[in-house]
Amino acid sequence: MQEINVVIIDRSEVFAKALKSMLLSNPKMKNIQLFTSLTDGLNSIITDKPHVVLLDVNIKGEKDELPVKIILQSIMVPILMIAENTVFQTAKTVQALSQGAIDFIKLDQKIKQELMSKEKEIFHKVIQASHGKKSRSIKLQNKPSKVITNKVPPKGSYPDKALIAIGSSTGGPRALHMVIQHLPSNFATPILIVQHMPAGFTKSLAERLNKIGNIHVKEAEHGEIIRRGTVYVAPGNYHMKVIETNSKLSIEITQEEERLGHRPSVNILFDSVAKIKNIHKIAVVLTGMGKDGAEGVKTIKESQREAIIIAESKETAIINGMPKSVIETNFVTDVLRIDNIAQALIDYTKK
């Protein structure tokens, strides 16, 4: 059993000590160091090379440099953000995730009682992070890197009508950032995204993706008509479906039961896409733990033989669980590095 070394960097020494005490109650945790400044914490990270860093979202770097960037420019290490559930901290957390932090721990207040109530979730995320790929170790390539696992026939009789559905989880905000920012302003095919995130964080994610990209990104709303050139992000704690009414596609937001422990669920989005007729279907599964998306991929392929299924390659996936489960369905068209997925979407939606 691998013992996990952790560095905690948090402005509150009282909270950091409580977190350290909780972590040390787990036999998998070996050495927990805590710091209240980024400079001291970074020196320890570089010297001791911990398995995971827990980083207060409000820690500041010199000259307002972003802490996640500062750390990852010095050493590759999985970073979990610690954030309270406020609008300001939510936005900063999403920013950190897009820069390479792989996940976050959401707290309403930094108090010992709340830590105890989230003990299981915190242990799970720290252990998961310790097994994750160090995100900044991904070296982007100019050459396309792709594996064809299933050749498919041409799109068929509806080249002008297409819909893209994307599912992602741990490490997803950064992966989505890399896809969206490389789509051109004239990219017309609508995109629906399910990113496993709690309520509140998905709105900040959509706003950030909208700022860094060339196409319009928004958090999805119940009943809105799906428009060309727009990306829709499922709101946290709600499922998102696409439905067809009077020859128009619209979004349905529901709070039905979780599926595989998730709401929003990639499978539920994919299942709804499978029901739409006379449209070219493209499904993409990015980094994440678990198997969400695999059953949905099967449903899409059963509904349309020429549907395109793309899975992120293990070379770049921070957590390879979701892409691996989709590849194992044997329905995948392409296995691609994250830096090649935007171009693939452009190519597959050309008229």
State pLDDT tens for residues 210-269: 999 999 999 999 999 999 999 999 999 999 999 998 889 999 999 999 999 999 999 999
Q: What is the dihedral of CA 149, 152, 158, 161, to 10 degrees?
A: 0
What span, in angstroms and rounded, lies between the C-alpha atoms of 251 and 262? 19
Q: Are residues 124 and 156 in the same domain?
A: no
Count other Cβ atoms within 10 Å, centred on residue 309: 27
Q: Are residues 85 and 167 in the same domain?
A: no
State pLDDT tens for residues 9-22: 999 999 999 999 99
The residue range of the domain holding 49 is: 4-137
Q: Are residues 186 and 321 in the same domain?
A: yes
Q: Are residues 200 and 343 in the same domain?
A: yes
Q: Are residues 62 and 197 in the same domain?
A: no
Q: Are residues 131 and 163 in the same domain?
A: no
Residue 38 tokens read as 């980024």
Q: For this structure, is 56 an active site residue? A: no
* 53: nearest Cα among 125, 107, 139: 125
What span, in angstroms and rounded, lies between the C-alpha atoms of 178 and 64? 24
DSSP 139: P
Among 120, 137, 154, identify where a domain stops.
137
Return all residues near 296 (Cβ < 8 A) that are at least 6 apart: 167, 266, 267, 268, 269, 270, 271, 273, 274, 283
Overall number of domains in the chain: 2
Residue 125 tokens read as 């995320």
Give the pLDDT band of residue 1 (cuts 50, 70, 90).
Answer: low
The one catalytic residue in 51, 177, 182, 196 is 196
Q: Are residues 53 and 189 in the same domain?
A: no
- Residue 42's CATH number: 3.40.50.2300
Q: Are residues 226 and 174 in the same domain?
A: yes
pLDDT of residue 146: 53
What span, in angstroms and rounded, lies between the C-alpha atoms of 342 and 181? 8
Among 137, 154, 180, identify where a domain stops.
137
80 close to 129: Cβ distance less than 8 angstroms: yes
240 close to 234: Cβ distance less than 8 angstroms: yes
Residue 121 tokens read as 């979730």
pLDDT of residue 133: 66
The one catalytic residue in 292, 313, 325, 334 is 292
What span, in angstroms and rounded, lies between the C-alpha atoms of 292 and 169? 9
Q: Are residues 9 and 106 in the same domain?
A: yes
pLDDT of residue 2: 77
Residue 272 tokens read as 């709804």
158 close to 197: Cβ distance less than 8 angstroms: no
- For the entire predicted model, the pTM comes to 0.89
Q: For this structure, is 196 an active site residue? A: yes
Q: Are residues 337 and 261 in the same domain?
A: yes
Q: For this structure, is 169 an active site residue? A: yes
The one catalytic residue in 98, 135, 168, 169 is 169
75 close to 44: Cβ distance less than 8 angstroms: no
- Residue 215's CATH number: 3.40.50.180
Q: Are residues 114 and 217 in the same domain?
A: no
Average pLDDT over residues 114-135: 85
Q: Are residues 205 and 85 in the same domain?
A: no
